[in-house]
Structure 1
Amino acid sequence: MNIKRVEVFGIRLALKKPFIVSYDRYDDMPTIITRLETENGTVGWGEAVPDQHVTGETWESTFQIIKHELAPLVINENPFNINLIHKKMNDKIKDVPSAKAAIDIAFYDLMGKLSNQPVYRLIGGRAHKKLDIPQVISILPPEEMALQAKQIVEEGFNNIKIKVGTDPRTDIGRIRAVRDAIPNSMKLRVDANQGWNTSGAIHVIENTKDCNVEWYEQPIKAGNHESMAEIRMATHVNIMADESIHSAQDLLSLIQLRGADLVNIKLMKAGGIYPAIALANLAETAGMQCQVGSMVESAIATMAGAHLSLSQSIIKSNEMVGPLMFKEDLAETHYHNGLIEVSDSPGLGVNVNEDLVREKAVLYCSV
């Protein structure tokens, strides 16, 4: 059952419309797909969606790191040796979490297929009956964001996340415009993606407290845990950490400073499912609720995040919305009335269109 072959595909997936956050604009989403094959012909699929602003990796660098550093490590390894694989990857190269996630996710897909179990049963079982997802609105003029919010309500979604993080005055207008466009009972979440400074964050929050915002996500630059704590204490609202948290060491530091109420765990920041579970366990010890976020991933990493979300009771929300944003995905996912369905099929439960993967690949290697 050992790994005999690793293939790596660099693909750019077209988006239905540009995705705009405080630090960049994406007209398509560059992704790296890994295909691991065992001696008996079982195939596991993984994915990396690097972001140079968040993970410190580029699309091109991630492809090369998997090709030259990580893929050779897993040849002849047993897919169930996930702890050993992460140790080998970490000993070989520091950081590069999305590259490691591409290997990790494929290993979990293989473990599920080889044991004839869905991934969520291998990592905790079913902790939730269903997985609600939000719709995400990019940074746009307030009136355009309000129009999109109205459409999302009509489509049957129960919560909305809006991207902000430009100038505080306009961001206040964005938050108010969206809240006015949706029912007060509908959940509203605000994500600045590191776009404010401390005083700007406090100003925006104080001027939108009546907008019934569930939480404000990553208001300032990643790593500034002290200012996160200052904002939290000054405003008395729920603060979620995202870009600040990659590792257990990051989270421990944030917990000690009481810098956030919630943490957004992403497979691409953590390095895959295995280290993400460690983050969730640490957060649970501190009484900090979790979310599983997305870097706008294809069906492959999206379903990996969905399995993680389903399996851990401390994970209260998720943003597995990537497939809804693509013109064409690499596999089919199932959404209905604001929910994402997780299959009981072995592994990730996704039937990857291998012909399409090979057709769309602009970078390729086989190890």
Structure 2
Amino acid sequence: MTGDGTRAVRAGLPEPVAYEPSLPGPVFAAHYHLPGEPVGPYTYGRDENPTWTRLEEAIGELESPGTAAETVVFPSGMGAVSAVLLSQVRSGDAVVLPSDGYQALPLVRERLEAYGVEVRTAPTAGDAQLRVLDGAKLLWIETPSNPGLDVCDIRRLAGAAHAAGALVAVDNTLATPLGQRPLDLGADFSVASGTKALTGHGDVLLGYVCCRDPERAAAVRKWRKTAGAVTGPMEAWLAHRSLATLQLRVDRQAVTALALAEALRERPEVTGLRHPGLPDDPAHPVAAAQMRAGRFGCVVSFTLPGRAHAERFLAALRLVDEATSFGGVRSTAERRGRWGGDAVPEGFIRFSVGVEDTDDLLTDVLRALDEAAGPTAQG
């Protein structure tokens, strides 16, 4: 089996054809020539597209190398999340969600409850979702969690969920398939927002679902067709193009993120520092056991003393964009409390490390911290 970098560069490419590009351009088509019976790989643009097919094959090779898996792409991460939940559960079922997950999950909860689905929640840390599994139809895991960076044991939770008759879906957005393979750890679905590290350039909205069971994949694909939640061919092509540098980006970001976390440990004004790669982080033992090749992600979270202090810090940064999302080639940071959907302090910072030179980024962050602290702290 080839290595991650080789796989990322070659995944989903067609067999070489003389004088043709290695990655054919996007196919823009609402309909296809379709004589006779409506059978064949491509019939109508809401159902399938050759550009999606190549991307789906590529993601499947990364999420499940060596074992057949099917991937279904969506126009956003939330499209993928909704597809799994709404295709797999029905009125009267129970679903377990993380209480500390992505801030749009409460919107999904509202919709599920409106459809008569019972929703239970528990934190990611300490595998707390085990306590509310009894009778559930589906367990939703987010590890590392966003934005708190807690980690749970996927294999342990998946084993318990399956013993209880529940399906398991893992949000793999932060880890990427190069950092973590949920299907290998027992999950039924690996779901992610490709908007973030997978595509990594901050210019594409994308989501996907990957699973090994053809019937479950068919249910997700049927939901996509029914809802019309289809990806544009240009976005799919841009995403596939971006996969070639995934390993380079993920590895560079992981190294710099750990260096940033280590530097922040020395700052007296920084509290609540979290990064799974830190040996003393509460999540590190489980993360080290299930995340691959030391790829602990590009996100570091920490808290500064209050809203005003955090905003001074963000304003002082020169190499870092104040923006939401994470995983891009340009570092970003934000005061996460400004959205109001996460249970975090007012001074909580979610910092996404890009691919800038490590020394340059650390210099910028430390200088911004000095400026934000004021003359007394600097002296």
Query: TM-score, normalization: structure 1?
Result: 0.30
Which structure dedicates a bigger proportion of its chain to strand?
A: 1
Higher CA-based Rg: 2
Q: Which protein, 1 or 2, shows the higher relative CO under an 8 Å CA cutoff with sep ≥ 6?
A: 1
Query: TM-score, normalization: structure 2?
Result: 0.30
